[in-house]
Amino acid sequence: MNMIKLIIFDIGDVIINFNDEEYVSYITKKLHTDAKTFMKCLEPLVTKMEYGAMNLKETEDTLAKRF
């Protein structure tokens, strides 16, 4: 009998519809900053998270300090 040992979920436009522009627009309005400034800070953090060099909490903390 074969057992499932791992299930990987990728929700970024795979399982749910996620619109980057709407997200950035919402966040930047809340933070009273422009999208370019926010994205300049966010993009390298997302890259680090994708490679496992940073977790979500660390990313949130970094953004909180910046904004």
Tens digits of residue pLDDT in 10-66 = 776 777 777 888 989 999 999 999 999 999 999 999 999 989 999 999 999 999 999
Tens digits of residue pLDDT in 7-18 = 887 776 777 777
pLDDT of residue 65: 95
pTM of the model: 0.67
> Bridge partners of 17?
none
pLDDT of residue 16: 74
| Distance in angstroms (rounded) separating the CA atoms of residues 61 and 63 | 5
| Distance in angstroms (rounded) separating the CA atoms of residues 62 and 14 | 27
